[in-house]
Structure 1
């Protein structure tokens, strides 16, 4: 029997599909794991940056507060040197006083006469004199107004001391410097509010050494896979921040209103604002894969909210740390793993194909062996039956001579006994011949001999098959019935001699030929548990036997002819009943 090439092809395709499916699933699963791992690394890096910035900002705020205290001392010193009436103080006095107090300047502020508005009346810095209104300064104006009204400030912003308030270092509205630190003092003994200010280069220098931008630069230098880090203002990013006007008409944005608080923001994407808002709304990191100049990048957004206030001097604002990392590292890792997996797949596929061919070859050899054995048995059975008939004919003269001698001698009883034995032998052969199917007749003849040798009570009955075209090859009939009888004999041999029973029945029903083989079975046998009866290799014999091929061959041949086979157990007997359509 040749190996079924179609089955090999189908098996090969199924193996390939399974491997491709497995590889694809593995690829995407690994990719998601690596992406998740990188996202977690970026979120961890963002939290480290956050912690470093918080420590840096705490130090910067501390420096700011020290400078604020110095400004308060300078303002108190100025008050002791100046006339309590603003009209009796000159700008030149303030210039000399600023040099003496070691600050960059003094300004005296008063009500402008327009409602509660406040203006600069005198100043050592000429540009400060251009500030004729502060009502648009937001919480700064609120602080000025509270000082003049109540001598103390209660707003949450800034740093407060008795009769004193200082805001964050800021861009001067007058344009007198890039960034300055202002402190305001009023104790009610003057008709003006004293403003002392210094250039904020000391604070800026401190931030340049340990501030957020320095932290970002160090993080980028130590993590080559990180391409960019940005601190996006949690309140103003993606919107138009409020602008203020300098005395010269030039607009400026407050330091703490700038959309970009630290780092750089060059690798932009139209979806950044949505991801920015999502990170704030969920309070969890948001990671997305994007393309920048044709290269894949992973962008992670980590929200940093305002902490619960520990002290009254905190000036924190919420922000979102955005970290851009190189996604090509993941793709390279995936490509490397994919190559390795493909090599494994190729080797495994080749191995699987060889294994499939060997398995099919083994089954083919086993089946061919079974078929050859069946064919040889069929030929032997036919030869045996014909030999028996020839023997009877050959011995006919001997039988006649014997009967004549018994008749001549008057031994009637011996003659009758001999005639009965002779007729019994002839009837046995005639019964077999009357089966009507030479293949079945020859098989039954051989099994009668086997039954006598194994001491099995073997009975058979075939009705209505004489001359019919069964639609089944003779060789296949021998395969089917012979394997069922052999299995039945094997089972019967397990019982005592007096309990060894096997019966075979064949008949025509409608357009089907029916075959039934019945034998005694052990009381411990449970048909519901025996689900592998027709599986290759299944056998109830402890050793030797027919390699567990008998019943699989029966099932395969019956199904080949579009027949059915039914197994049932009744009254201690197992019955295999099959039905095959006739031509």
Structure 2
């Protein structure tokens, strides 16, 4: 018989389509795996950067706090040297005092004539005298006001000591220096706040040595495939930060309000703000593949929230670490794999075509034998089908003949009784819970009906019990499970409807069957010794029958079959778990 050429062509096309689909799926699956691996590595790198930055920031904060403590000591020294009345202190006197104390300057701050405002009245720095109002300074003014009113500062920002407050090192509003560290002292014995300040160049130098930018540089040097690392402020990035106005009318942004806290941000896109917000809202890393200047890149955004404050002087701000890495290495790997896959497809297709050709030849030669075998098998199946139909017909006729005979003899009541029994049998078969053990199935069905009446949310799941010999008498397994469920029902009935829940699970493993019954308990439920729960007479019920007998029966039956029972209470739930060896 001639080989059907059309069938061969169709088969070849199907094989080629299957191969292309399989290899395309493998290609994309490999791509996703490589992308995910790179994303995970970038997330790990971001977490390493986070840890290094936290350690360096703690160190810089420690240095800054030491400077603050020294400023307080200098302020105490100045208090002993100055007249308590600001009008009796001169600017020249403050200049000499600054030289004597080894600081950059002193300023004396007092209430202005405009309500509660606070201004600089005297200073060793002429530019500081231009500060006639501190209300625009935000929380700095709040600190000044609290210090002058209550002699103590309570706001969360800054360093707070006895009669003293020091803000973060900052750009002076007077523009007298690039960055300075200010300390403010007031104990009520003077009519002014003593402000002492020093240039914060040393703090900045410390940050340059061990700070975030140094961590970023070292990370970039150790990972050539990382193109850029950015520390994006968790609040001000993508928005216009608060601008403060100096005494000369110029505006400046706080050191800790800068949108870019560390690193660089040259590789940017319009969607960065969206991914930035996603990482913050979900508190999960976000990784995306984009095209930048004609080459693929992977961007990973990791949110770093503010830690729970361990001390009152922490000044962390939330931020997002953005890492941009080169995606070309993955693309090159994928292209190489694609070429290999195409080669495999071609070779396998040729092999498949040759193989199918010989298969078709073999099929053609054995076609008559196959047809004959198929006909014989079909006849056998038809015979089996008729035998099954005859058996069903026989049973059906028996039921019909019985009901007809009862009806013909006028025995209507007997007929109704017979039909009722027949219907009950059918319903029982249809309603049986497919658990695998008839006794357990019947018990669960009964408890489910009881749970519905008492408005208990009853959940159950049994697996692996089909056809197993549990090695336990049905009456005993019903006693054990039934008492545990009854005990659970009694406990949850103490809760209002809607909060009553009982969970029963059963499974077999390691040649033993395990049953667990769990339910919530009252908040004040306490048992120091769980073994006391299985003693006769123990009960948490205030009324009812058979108090204190159920759990003792459970323990006795389980020990009889050399099983074990464990009790645990966790998160407001109690769980009884029994394990019984199977025979």
TM range (shorter): 0.5 to 0.7
**Compared CA separation, residues 554 and 143, structure 1 to 2 (3 A):** closer
Q: Is the 8 A contact 2:136 2:245 kept in 1?
A: no
What secondary structure is seen at the aligned counterpart in 2 of 1:136? helix
**Compared CA separation, residues 572 and 255, structure 1 to 2 (3 A):** closer
**Compared CA separation, residues 192 and 332, structure 1 to 2 (3 A):** same
Q: Distance in 2 between matches of 1:571 and 1:3?
A: 36
Which residue is 2:246 aligned to? 246
1:174-215 per-residue CA deviation (whole Å, 9 max, x = no partner) reads: 001111100001111111111111111111111001100110
Equivalence map 1:279-428=2 (5 Å): 279-366=279-366
Query: Gapped runs of 5+ residues in structure 1?
Result: 371-547, 556-563, 574-583
Shift in Å, 1:570 = 8.5
Q: Distance in 1 between matches of 2:386 and 2:277?
A: 79
Which residue is 1:75 aligned to? 75
Which residue is 1:51 aligned to? 51
Q: Distance in 2 between matches of 1:28 and 1:14?
A: 21
Q: Distance in 2 between matches of 1:554 and 1:232?
A: 76
Question: Which protein has the larger Cα radius of gyration, Structure 1 or Structure 2?
Answer: 1
**Compared CA separation, residues 550 and 68, structure 1 to 2 (3 A):** closer
1:367-402 per-residue CA deviation (whole Å, 9 max, x = no partner) reads: 6xx7xxxxxxxxxxxxxxxxxxxxxxxxxxxxxxxx
1:306-337 per-residue CA deviation (whole Å, 9 max, x = no partner) reads: 11111111111111111111111221121122
**Compared CA separation, residues 237 and 364, structure 1 to 2 (3 A):** same
Which residue is 1:136 aligned to? 136
Q: Distance in 1 between matches of 2:277 and 2:328?
A: 27
Q: Distance in 2 between matches of 1:16 and 1:137?
A: 73
Q: Distance in 2 between matches of 1:281 and 1:568?
A: 65
1:483-504 per-residue CA deviation (whole Å, 9 max, x = no partner) reads: xxxxxxxxxxxxxxxxxxxxxx
Which residue is 2:87 aligned to? 87
Which residue is 1:125 aligned to? 125
Query: Gapped runs of 5+ residues in structure 2?
Result: 388-583
**Compared CA separation, residues 570 and 166, structure 1 to 2 (3 A):** closer
**1:551 is the counterpart of 2:377:** no
Q: Distance in 1 between matches of 2:128 and 2:371?
A: 111
Shift in Å, 1:272 = 1.1
Which residue is 1:169 aligned to? 169
Shift in Å, 1:290 = 1.3
Q: Distance in 1 between matches of 2:136 and 2:48?
A: 38
Q: Distance in 1 between matches of 2:258 and 2:381?
A: 86
Shift in Å, 1:68 = 0.2
Q: Distance in 2 between matches of 1:549 and 1:238?
A: 74
Equivalence map 1:475-494=2 (5 Å): none
What secondary structure is seen at the aligned counterpart in 1 of 2:136? coil
Shift in Å, 1:572 = 13
Aligned residues, how many?
A: 386
Q: Distance in 1 between matches of 2:150 and 2:381?
A: 106
Which has the larger displacement, 245-254 or 358-367?
A: 358-367
Q: Distance in 2 between matches of 1:124 and 1:273?
A: 45
Which has the larger displacement, 130-139 or 242-251?
A: 242-251
1:514-564 per-residue CA deviation (whole Å, 9 max, x = no partner) reads: xxxxxxxxxxxxxxxxxxxxxxxxxxxxxxxxxx45616989xxxxxxxx9
Shift in Å, 1:366 = 4.9
CA RMSD of aligned residues (A): 2.2
**Compared CA separation, residues 118 and 571, structure 1 to 2 (3 A):** closer
Shift in Å, 1:365 = 4.7
Shift in Å, 1:338 = 1.4
Q: Distance in 2 between matches of 1:128 and 1:302?
A: 41
1:265-318 per-residue CA deviation (whole Å, 9 max, x = no partner) reads: 111111111111111110101111111112111111111111111111111111
Shift in Å, 1:360 = 1.8
Q: Distance in 2 between matches of 1:319 and 1:269?
A: 18
What secondary structure is seen at the aligned counterpart in 1 of 2:137? coil
Shift in Å, 1:363 = 3.1
Q: Is the 8 A contact 2:181 2:198 kept in 1?
A: yes
Q: Distance in 2 between matches of 1:571 and 1:72?
A: 101
**1:148 is the counterpart of 2:123:** no
TM-score relative to the length of structure 1: 0.64
